[in-house]
């Protein structure tokens, strides 16, 4: 997708496009909130740019009359696009006049040259976000047609997502507000972003993580397909239909995912563990890996009878985790019953892992601590060994290794173009450049001493190597 942001003068009001697949999004200066500052940039994030809230090529420019304009081209005639305006962050996204979330704007690409918009308010969250890496709000008010309500949906993207054309596995996790940002969590965060960045720095190929916020007062209802005599429930079937039939297809269309079941995981804790167990069993053709943490199997005996009804249909990997003290021992008791039920209905001890921790609590800190091991087991992930010698699978030669002020990449037969990136031990991208030469020389004088991950990308192939700077 290519875009051109430019200042449009008043004469463009009468401009008519020759090509129908080109549009201009505009904001009348008189239709901005009173709090709008001339120093605040306005961006467009949408289905056409992976919903990135601060891409420079989607920054709107001001005309002399104060109006904002952005031209977007290379769109298809009749294509439906969705978008929102931001001030460079999802924490400063447009809101309604009362400060509440609004649905995505939509537009059918037609012959209309300019579409004007009104922005009623901005979300100006004063607490700095505490996320790491590429964490974004996919949609602040995603419509759930099966439940006729909306929900915020998060997306974490691997560190090299924008540096390669690779596709990634996807993990769908419940209680999205507890996954990435402690300032939004109601009882602490899992630190999924921190963990995924750390795993990647250790050599893991990475995965996309989609977090779906819980519905607050609707949480118990949505997280169980079966009704409890006093606690509600019963909307879980519709909730999982939303995840499988509405959200997953959208995620697969927006991001570069590996959409097959082998690369699709589902998980959650407590009631989130219950609905994930239900969803995984009900949709074994969709999910192959389950994170089931401190599950609330007490909610309904149907959790066990469902296993007997569905049985083992496809190869699965299920990670059952809880702490010994949880619920005065009742959680581990229920989980053991589930483990035995799975084994009696076609699942093997190799495909179901039962993990009981004596110090485990029904709390985010516990699930955060245990998530890395569950991920490694489910995805067969192992960090690359700390070996800085050359390896046979590299189609190029690195020198010197270890390196100091420069790093050389020499090809026997260089591709037409290739990208080279370096990530430090925190998973932060510290270097990236596209080359079209036989050899590449990287100036590394400003890099700190330590371990780095070298990533070389050629079309759909990616090569990784841990290297050391002295």
Q: Summarize pLDDT for 164-208 with one digit per residue, the tens.
A: 788 899 999 999 988 987 555 455 678 899 899 888 877 788 999
Predicted confidence (pLDDT) at residue 133 exceeds the cutoff of 70:
no
What order of strands is seen across the sheet that includes strand 406-411?
Answer: 396-399, 406-411, 439-443
Q: Which domains does the chain have, with CATH numbers?
A: 3-122 (2.60.40.10), 134-379 (3.40.50.1820), 396-469 (2.60.40.3080)
278 band by pLDDT with thresholds 50, 70 and 90:
very high
More confident residue, 110 or 60: 60
Query: What's the rounded Cα separation, in Å, for the pair 437 and 83?
Result: 39
- Note the pLDDT of residue 412: 84
Alpha carbons within 13 angstroms on the beta-carbon side of residue 311 total 3
pLDDT for res 91: 65
Task: Report percent pLDDT > 90 for the chain.
Answer: 43
- At residue 30, φ and ψ (nearest 5 deg) are -80, -10
- Neighbour order of strands in the sheet with 450-458: 429-435, 418-423, 450-458, 461-469
Residue 33 has pLDDT above 60, yes or no: yes
Q: Read off the pLDDT of each residue in 34-53 and give the average, rounded to a whole number.
A: 75
Residue 8 has pLDDT above 60, yes or no: no
Strand pairing report for 289-293 and 264-269? parallel
For residues 409-416, average pLDDT: 87
Note the pLDDT of residue 63.
Answer: 85
The pLDDT of residue 296 is 95
What average pLDDT does range 44-53 have in this prediction?
Answer: 74
pLDDT of residue 392: 55
Average pLDDT over residues 16-23: 51
Mean pLDDT of 433-439: 84
Determine which helix (DSSP H) or strand (DSSP E) holds 338, and give its type and residue range: helix 330-344
**What is the average pLDDT value for the chain, to the nearest integer?**
83
DSSP state of 308: H
Question: Mean pLDDT lowest for which of 222-226, 332-336, 410-414, 431-435?
Answer: 431-435
On whether the CB atoms of residues 155 and 171 are closer than 8 A, the answer is: no
For the record, the structure tokens of 43 come out as 């961006």
What pLDDT, on a 0 to 100 scale, did the predictor assign at position 62?
A: 87
The answer, yes or no, to whether residue 381 has pLDDT greater than 90, is: no
159-173, 193-207, 383-397, 413-427: least confident range: 383-397
Reported as type and span, the H/E element at residue 61 is: strand 61-62
Tell me if residue 441 falls in helix, strand or coil.
strand
Q: With bands split at pLDDT 50, 70 and 90, how would you rate the model's confidence at 112?
A: low
Mean pLDDT of 437-446: 89
Give all strands (DSSP E) within 94-207, no chain letters.
Answer: 94-95, 105-108, 114-117, 121-122, 134-144, 149-157, 170-173
pLDDT above 70 as % of the chain:
85
Q: What is the mean pLDDT of residues 439-461?
A: 82
> Among 84-98, 236-250, 396-410, 436-450, which stretch is predicted with the lowest mean pLDDT?
84-98
Q: How far is CA 336 from the centre of its chain?
A: 32
Say what the pLDDT of residue 18 is. Answer: 37
């Amino acid at each position: 997708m290519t875009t051109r942001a430019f200042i449009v003068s008043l004469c463009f009001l009468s401009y008519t496009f020759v090509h129908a697949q080109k549009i201009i999004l505009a904001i009348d200066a008189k239709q901005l909130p009173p709090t709008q500052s001339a120093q605040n940039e306005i961006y467009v994030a949408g289905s056409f740019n992976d919903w990135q809230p601060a891409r420079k090529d989607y920054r709107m420019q001001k005309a002399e009359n104060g109006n904002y304009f952005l031209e977007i081209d290379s769109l298809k005639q009749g294509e439906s696009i969705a978008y929102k305006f931001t001030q460079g962050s999802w924490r400063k996204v447009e809101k309604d006049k009362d400060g509440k979330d609004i649905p995505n704007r939509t537009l059918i690409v037609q012959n209309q040259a300019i579409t004007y918009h009104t922005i009623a308010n901005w979300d100006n969250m004063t607490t700095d976000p505490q996320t790491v890496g590429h964490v974004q709000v996919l949609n602040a008010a995603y419509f759930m047609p099966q439940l006729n309500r909306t929900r915020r949906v998060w997306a974490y993207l691997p560190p090299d997502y924008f540096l390669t054309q690779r596709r990634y596995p996807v993990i769908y996790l419940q209680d999205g507000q507890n996954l990435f940002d402690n300032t939004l969590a109601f009882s602490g965060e899992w630190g999924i972003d921190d963990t995924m960045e750390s795993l990647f720095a250790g050599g893991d190929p990475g995965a996309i993580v989609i977090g779906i916020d819980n519905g607050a007062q609707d949480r118990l209802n949505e997280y169980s397909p079966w009704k409890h005599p006093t606690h509600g429930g019963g909307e879980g079937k519709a909730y999982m239909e939303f995840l499988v039939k509405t959200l997953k297809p959208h995620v697969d269309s927006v991001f570069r995912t590996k959409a097959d079941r082998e690369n699709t995981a589902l998980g959650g804790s407590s009631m989130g563990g219950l609905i994930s167990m239900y969803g995984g069993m009900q949709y074994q053709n969709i999910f192959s890996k389950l994170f089931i943490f401190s599950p609330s199997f007490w909610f309904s005996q149907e959790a066990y009878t469902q296993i007997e009804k569905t049985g083992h249909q496809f190869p699965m990997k299920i990670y059952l985790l809880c702490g010994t003290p949880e619920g005065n021992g009742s959680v581990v008791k229920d989980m053991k019953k589930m483990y035995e039920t799975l084994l009696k209905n076609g699942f093997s001890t190799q495909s179901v892992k039962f993990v009981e921790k004596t110090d485990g609590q029904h709390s985010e800190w516990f699930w955060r601590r245990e998530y890395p091991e569950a991920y490694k087991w489910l995805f067969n992930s192992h960090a690359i060994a700390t070996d800085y010698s050359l390896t046979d699978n590299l189609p190029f030669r690195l020198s010197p290794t270890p390196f100091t002020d420069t790093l050389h990449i020499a090809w026997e037969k260089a591709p037409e173009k290739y990208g080279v990136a370096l990530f430090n031990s925190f998973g932060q991208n510290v270097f990236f450049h596209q080359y079209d030469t036989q050899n590449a020389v990287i100036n590394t004088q400003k890099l700190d001493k330590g371990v780095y991950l070298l990533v070389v990308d050629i079309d759909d192939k990616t090569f990784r190597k841990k290297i050391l700077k002295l």
